[in-house]
Structure 1
Amino acid sequence: MISFLHTADWQIGRVFSQFEPDDAAALFEVRFAAVERLASIATDRGVDAILVAGDVFDAQTVADKTIRRLFNAMQGFAGAWVLIPGNHDSALAESVWSRARRLEAIPANVVVCLEPKPLVIAGKFTLLPAPLTQRHTYADLTEWFGTAATDDGLPRIGLAHGCVQGILPGDIDSTNPIAAGRAQGAGLTYLALGDWHGTKRVDDRTWYAGTPESDRFKANDSGQALLVSIESLALAPVVVAVPTGKFRWRQVEQQMAVDSDVDGLVQTLDSAGGDDVLQVRLSGTCSIAGHRKLTAALDAARARARAVVWDSAALGLEPTEEDIQALHADGFVGEALQELRAAQDGATPELARDAILALARILDAHGPRSGAGT
């Protein structure tokens, strides 16, 4: 039997600029740890190889230190690692791969496929790689799989990075195309793909592995690698998803209208733990008292979770009578509060909302007082 791990889209060196610096640093570091986990899994499962279907690095310009650290992270598996360039780290004349070679950072058990030619891996299977030699192509680089002669009787495994036409959503079918049915048409036992960051089955013999460490807020079944077992050329491979990710990326989109919406979101924030990366987007309206609850819950969640991205630009404030009474905002202060509330429907709603909050803080700081006689 033949077995290997299929992984892709490590994006080593990615800079998470939308996060606070300490959170960005943690998200940067955890991608090295994901590679270490892959090595450990491969060793524990006794696989023949690890296939990496492109975008090993996030950019051509990653630091030399990052290149060295990546290959050091792979030391836990002594078997064959097979890597191809993707669109982020394509095999240009001068690339991250040429730098890695000059640094002599690539271990002897790591095969970097920079050319489309068959390779026998571990004496167990013939690999047909389709490395990207530029960031975007409009020709199918896997087309040669169908004409490649391999008379060794070994299983034929394809390794590519791109978009299988007709199966991915939206405008993804644009560059680096891969024909649907390529595995069957080229006589492949398995086609290992990268580019789509979630685990996705295309057909019995064609899979996207996804990134081993989630890196976006889409619910796309990421944070995994695929354990592929081949018992016979006549049978479809057995493919099992193996969890590899540490952080859970979750997106919460909430339309606020009533107090129960505030309470529900507070519960969500209270449930956040150290491995959560949250993105919260709010719209609608809430009271000043509700906003205070949310702010307190947000502050507590930011102290517990790995990261929280908070977007309340579309959330307006509707001070209730209870808010106004609690603030003792009578007289011209009350009138000003009402004017600010109305101004949220104007050209600068966020400015008006922030002014309401600032006014509320001032009134809180000064305690009960009337605005009528001042």
Structure 2
Amino acid sequence: MRLLHTSDWHLGRSLHGVDLLEHQAAFLDHLVAVTRDEGVDAVLVAGDVYDRAVPPVEAVTLLSETLGRLAEHAVVVVTSGNHDSAIRLGFGAGLMRPGVHLRTRVADAATPVTLTPPGRGAGGGDVPVLVYGLPYLDPDVVRRALSPDPSEPLARSHAAVTGAAMDRIRGDLAVRTAAAAAAGTPRPRAVVLAHAFVLGGEASESERDIRVGGVDHVPAGVFAGMDYVALGHLHGPQRIGGAAGTVLRYSGSPLAYSFSELRQVKSSVLIDVGPDGVVGEARLIPAPVPRRIAEVTGTLEELLGAAGEAYVADWLRVTVTDVARPPELYARVKVRFPHALVVQHRPPAAAGAREHVAVTSARDPLEVAAEFVEHITAAEPTRAEASALRAALEHVLALDRSA
């Protein structure tokens, strides 16, 4: 079986005010072409299809059209991420055309999509592949539903709820494996889609923080027993070390959504699954690059001269280092670099000056708030103050989940 793994489309997102929907549509055209040309049996989309819970109409239309086009060539399995509204994304799942499967409910996590067509990749054959789709699991929302005893909720952590969901999946897989052995048919292989921050992954600045109770990581060992784990959430393509026989990969996002991603090569992941699991190495299929994202630093005279020539067509972060801020700085930079997204003046630091650190969405909000309290009061937050900050943050997160 040949599988194409992608995630974190973030349809409807902008980059410093630039609407990216046209470029996201170009990536999806590319994805349809890869699915057709590579003989893909199933496309796996591991969450964050949309950028927010209530996406713009144009993003909804683009997703609808894309799922229809992909389904002409392959089975499609889609799970929800922390940016998606699971209810809105999953609405009408039962009415979807054959071949399109939305997995947005915890109750469906241990109900696989069974792939049975003959494998077209190396080592294929008629071995069935079971695809289990885990939606993003918010501990505050699902720790009772996933507990064996609802009166005793699971620990308030991503590791606890993901582990409980995986126990259900392994239980279903064991039943199906035993039935196959009794019938003398090939043992099924198992693939999981999961939207989570797995321990060992390298984050970017553009992923939304998902800490609950100060905990966001899921140990890779939670996924033991699976053949392939198609991960979503982190925007850089990367492989994560796990249990023997289990391959864990992030496909990454199709476009760069922050300057922290400028050195990432965006891609989707093509794998073959045979009778003994994943066959050979994964192939990373490079995504189209609508416009390079880059940064350039220097004095204004340098940037307006030869040093800036290679960056004229890029989405750009420009840092001007003149000792004094040049007059009409922004206007002069925009004439030279029409696609500049960020223009900042940073003169050489004086000896002993305190370095300023940018605060991004990847930072723990509680750490940022605590640093602010310390900056204002010259003392770390007391235990009572830290508790009040945590309660306020989690109240806001709960309101966001209900939106």
Please state which band the TM-score falls in when normalised by the shorter chain: 0.5 to 0.7
Q: If you compute each CA radius of gyration, which structure gives the higher value, 1 or 2?
A: 1
Cα deviations by residue, 1:84-121 (Å, 9 ceiling, x for unpaired): 01101142xx43432x659x6x4432110122123133
Partner of 2:250: 208
Structure 2 letter corresponding to 1:189:
D
Supply the distance in 1 between the matched residues of 2:103 and 2:195 (Cα, whole angstroms). Answer: 12
1:308 and 2:340 are equivalent in the alignment: yes
1:11 and 2:10 are equivalent in the alignment: yes
8 Å contact kept, 1:90–1:135: no
1:140 offset after TM fit, Å?
A: 3.7
- Taking the TM superposition and a 5 Å limit, the aligned residue runs for 1:1-374 are 2-16=1-15, 18-19=16-17, 24-25=18-19, 27-77=20-70, 78=72, 79-91=74-86, 94-98=87-91, 106-114=96-104, 115-123=108-116, 124-132=128-136, 134=138, 138=158, 139-142=160-163, 143-144=166-167, 145-148=169-172, 149=174, 150-151=176-177, 152=180, 153-168=187-202, 174=211, 177-183=217-223, 185=224, 187-203=225-241, 205-219=247-261, 221-233=264-276, 237-252=280-295, 254=297, 256=299, 262-263=301-302, 266-272=305-311, 274=313, 276-285=314-323, 296=332, 298-302=334-338, 307-315=339-347
Partner SS for 1:218 = helix
1:66 offset after TM fit, Å?
A: 2.6
Number of aligned pairs? 292
8 Å contact kept, 1:213–1:246: yes
Structure-2 change in CA distance of 1:59 and 1:170 (3 Å): closer
8 Å contact kept, 1:118–1:128: yes
Structure-2 change in CA distance of 1:170 and 1:35 (3 Å): closer
Partner SS for 1:42 = helix
8 Å contact kept, 1:54–1:84: yes
8 Å contact kept, 2:267–2:287: yes
8 Å contact kept, 1:214–1:249: no
Structure-2 change in CA distance of 1:273 and 1:141 (3 Å): same
Partner SS for 1:66 = helix
Partner SS for 2:257 = coil
Supply the distance in 2 between the matched residues of 1:29 and 1:81 (Cα, whole angstroms). Answer: 22
Partner SS for 1:252 = strand
Cα deviations by residue, 1:222-241 (Å, 9 ceiling, x for unpaired): 52101112244156552111
8 Å contact kept, 1:90–1:132: no
For structure 2, list consecutive stretches of 5 or more residues without a partner in the other structure.
117-127, 141-156, 181-186, 354-403
1:273 offset after TM fit, Å?
A: 5.7
Supply the distance in 2 between the matched residues of 1:173 and 1:265 (Cα, whole angstroms). Answer: 41
Cα RMSD over matched residues?
3.3
1:284 offset after TM fit, Å?
A: 4.7
Supply the distance in 1 between the matched residues of 2:210 and 2:201 (Cα, whole angstroms). Answer: 8
Partner SS for 1:131 = coil
User: Identity percentage over the alignment?
Assistant: 21
Structure-2 change in CA distance of 1:199 and 1:248 (3 Å): farther
Supply the distance in 2 between the matched residues of 1:154 and 1:6 (Cα, whole angstroms). Answer: 19
Cα deviations by residue, 1:252-295 (Å, 9 ceiling, x for unpaired): 25254xxxx84367445322365x3212233452696xx78996
For structure 1, list consecutive stretches of 5 or more residues without a partner in the other structure.
317-344, 346-374
Supply the distance in 2 between the matched residues of 1:233 and 1:243 (Cα, whole angstroms). Answer: 27
Q: Which has the higher contact order (CA 8 A, sep 6+)?
A: 2
Partner SS for 2:60 = helix
